[in-house]
Amino acid sequence: MSQRILDLKVNLNYTVPVIFVIEAVEEHWQKIYELSNDIISSLLGRVNELYFLGNSRSYPIVLPQDFIEQSPAWFNENKNRVSLLNPVFEEIEKKKFKGMIVVFCSKEPCDLEDWLESEILERTLFVMLSDEDFPLKYNLNYVEGIKGATYILSKIENPPEQAWIEAKGFVPLCYEIKQGGKAEIKFQDGKFLFSIIPEGERLEIHLKVISDDFPVLYLKRRKGQIESNEIKEELPWFKDPTWEEIPEDLKPIVEAGITKSNYKCNQCGEEHSYRVLICPEGGTVLKGIPMNSCVLFTKEKYFALSEWYALPLRHNQRVITRDGDLYEWRNGNWIYLRKVDIYEKVDDEVWALFHRI
Amino acid sequence: MADVGPIDKLYTDAWYRKILEVSQRQSWRKAEFTKTPWKMFLTGVPLEEIIPFLKYLGKGFRLPKAEEWRKLLEYSKELKNLKRELIACLEAFENLPAPPVLFWIEKGLYPLVEEGLLEMIETEKSPSKDEVICIGKAWQGLWPNTFSPESIKIIDFVLLPKAVGFRVVKEV
C-alpha cells in the first residue's frame, strides 16, 4: 500500500485522426482523388497518412497540399497492386493507431475475411466506388462513394460517448474541468470512478488525487474498443487547503460540539444541545461558516470542503467527501463507512460536521 | 512483391483474382488446418509466373531439385521428433511463422512432404506445353491418389492446377 497524492493534468483531443487506404485502380482514381481531397480539406490536420491496399508503406500528409501535389505519383507507384488489407492493417496495428480508417475500394479486398470480427474493422469505413454490393454480405461500415464527401464525413466521425478515470486506490480530491464536459464521481465496488460526459472537441482537466496506481483515462467512442490514455503529472494546480480561524463568538459553540455538551446561544441566549445547528428563534448558529458542504474543525480553525470533493485523513487511509461521507482503505478497496455524525471525530484533533440547509 | 508492386501484368490485382478462381483462398483465422489444409496455400501459378518472383526474392532463391526434396522427406521423421526443439527455436525469434505453420509443427505434420501439395521442382527436363514436373503427394481430400511422394510426376497443369504449388529454397 503506497497511497500517494498526485497532481495530474488531462489533455485529450476528442477528435479522431484518420488514415486513408486506397485501392490503386485507374478506373476510379479521379473519383478517389476528388473525394479524398474534399475530406482532407474538411478534416484539417486529421488525415496524416495514406496507404495503398497491398503496400505497407505509409505516405505522409503534413498539409492538404501534399495530397494534391504528390498523390498522383504515389498512385502510379501502386497502380494495380493486389487489394490486400493485411500489409496495411498489420502496419497500423504495429503503430497502435486508434483512429478511423477509410478504405476506398471498388472490390472486396482479397483478404477481407482475415479481419472479420476484428476490432480494427469496427473503426474502418469502406467507401465503395462501384456498383458491386460486396460489403453487404458482411456486417461492415460502408458508404457508397457516389453519396459525396459530406455524407462520407458524417460516417467518419466517431464521437466520444463516455470518459472516465480510474486506478487502484484512486480518489479525486479536487478537480477543475477547463473544457470538454461535465464530471460526475461515482463510488461502486470499492472504487471511485471519475466519470465525464464529453462535450466539445478537447478535454482539459486539472486534478488532485490520492491513488495507489497511476490513474488512466479511458474513453469509449461510438465505434471501436475502449481506449486508454496516459495522464501526465503536473506541478500542483490547486492551493493547499486553507484553514480559517473560527470567529471568537463561535468558538464556544464548536467547543460544545467537540465535547458533546450544551452551549449558550448567542442569538436567543438560551442553552442548546450541541446538536442544535439552527436556533428555533433565529437562523444558523454558526454564522459565516459555509454549511452546505462538510466542514472540518480543529479547536481553533475550520475548513469547508466546498471546493474540494474529498480530503484525505489518517495518513491517506481515510477520506471524507464534501457530502460528509466517510470512506476507509481496507484490503485494497475503499469501504464506505457512514455519513459523518455531528462533530464526529475523524482524525487526531479534527472533527467533522455536515449539515445541509 | 511488397516494395516494388506488380511487374507488368504479373502480380496485379486482376492476376491474383484469376489465380484465386482456381486456388480458393481461405482465411487462416477461420481455416481448418487439418481438414482443408490446401486452402492455406497459393496453387495454380504457372512456372513462368513463379520465375520472376524467385528473381525478386534475390540471388540463390529457386525451386528445389528432386534430390533436395527427397532429402527433406528423409529428414522429415527426425524433424517430427524434434518438434519441441523446433518450436522453442522459432519462439526465440521475434517474427514467428504464421499460426498454421506452428499448428502443423505441433501436430507433427511439418514439413508437409509425406502428404501436401504436388510441388514443382527445378529440372533439366523440359515438359511439354501445359505440363509441369512435380514431386510430392497431394492430400487425399484435394485429389485422391496413390502417389509415392518421392517419385517425379508429370502433371497436366490445365487439368489439375489447384493441386500444384511450389516451395522455395535458398542456396547458401
Chain A residues in contact with B13 (beta carbon < 8 A):
23, 25, 54, 80-83, 107, 110
Question: Residue B2: which of A23, A56, A111 has the nearest Cβ?
Answer: A56
Answer whether A113 sits within 8 Å of B30, measured CB to CB.
Answer: yes
CA–CA gap between residue A3 and residue A1 (Å, rounded)? 6
Helices and strands per DSSP (H, E), number in chain B: 5, 6
Answer whether A110 sits within 8 Å of B5, measured CB to CB.
Answer: no
- B50-101 per-position pLDDT tens digit: 999 999 999 999 999 999 999 999 998 888 888 888 888 877 777 777 777 8
Is the minimum CB–CB distance between A293 and chain B shorter than 8 Å? Answer: no
DSSP β-ladder status, B131-135 and B118-120: antiparallel
> At CA B86, angle to CA B83 and CA B88, rounded to 5?
110
Query: Which residues fall within 8 angstroms of residue A108, CB to CB, at 6 or more apart?
Result: A83, A132, A134, A135
CA–CA gap between residue A64 and residue A48 (Å, rounded)? 9
Counting beta carbons within 10 angstroms of the beta carbon of residue B144, is it exposed (0 to 12), middle (13 to 18) or buried (19 or more)?
exposed
Query: Which residues fall within 8 angstroms of residue A57, CB to CB, at 6 or more apart?
Result: A51, B3
- A27-81 per-position pLDDT tens digit: 999 999 999 999 999 998 899 999 999 999 999 999 999 999 999 999 999 999 9
Interface test with A, best of B13, B95, B96 (most A CBs within 10 A): B13
* Min Cα separation A110/chain B (Å): 8
Is the minimum CB–CB distance between A226 and chain B shorter than 8 Å? Answer: no
Answer whether B20 sits within 8 Å of A55, measured CB to CB.
Answer: no
Q: Is the pLDDT of residue A310 over 70?
A: yes
Answer whether B2 sits within 8 Å of A54, measured CB to CB.
Answer: yes
Q: How does B46-78 read in b/e, with b if 16+ C-beta sit within 10 Å? A: eeeebeebbeeeeeeebbbebeebbebbeebee
Nearest to B61 by CA among B51, B71, B69, B70: B51
Query: Which residues fall within 8 angstroms of residue A341, CB to CB, at 6 or more apart?
Result: none
Nearest CA in chain A to B6: A81
Q: What percent of chain A has pLDDT over 70?
A: 97
Place of cell 482514381: A29
CA–CA gap between residue A125 and residue A143 (Å, rounded)? 7
Q: In Å, how far from its chain's centre is CA A78? A: 41
- In chain A, what is the straight-line distance between the N-terminal and C-terminal CA atoms, in Å? 38
Query: What pLDDT does B45 receive?
Result: 95
DSSP bridge partners of A280: none
What DSSP character marks residue A279?
-
DSSP bridge partners of A13: A202
Query: What pLDDT does A266 receive?
Result: 81
Query: What pLDDT does A151 receive?
Result: 92
H/E segment holding residue A329: strand A325-330
Taking the CA of residue B46 as centre, how many other CA atoms within 13 Å lie in the half-sphere pointing to its CB? 13
Is the minimum CB–CB distance between B6 and chain A shorter than 8 Å? Answer: yes
Per-domain residue ranges of chain B = 13-64+113-170, 76-110
CA–CA gap between residue B29 and residue A200 (Å, rounded)? 40
- Pair A290, A336: CB distance under 8 Å: no
Answer whether A113 sits within 8 Å of B27, measured CB to CB.
Answer: yes
Chain B residues in contact with A56 (beta carbon < 8 A):
2
User: ipTM of this model?
Assistant: 0.86
* Min Cα separation A82/chain B (Å): 4
Work out the average pLDDT over B146-156: 94
Answer whether A82 sits within 8 Å of B20, measured CB to CB.
Answer: no
**A 15-44 residues with CB < 8 A to B:** 23, 25
* Min Cα separation A74/chain B (Å): 12
B7 or A29: whose pLDDT is higher?
A29
Q: Is the pLDDT of residue A133 over 70?
A: no
CA–CA gap between residue A148 and residue A34 (Å, rounded)? 10
Answer whether A80 sits within 8 Å of B13, measured CB to CB.
Answer: yes
- In chain B, what is the straight-line distance between the N-terminal and C-terminal CA atoms, in Å? 22
CA–CA gap between residue B34 and residue B26 (Å, rounded)? 13
- A231-253 per-position pLDDT tens digit: 999 999 998 888 988 888 888 88
Work out the average pLDDT over A128-151: 81
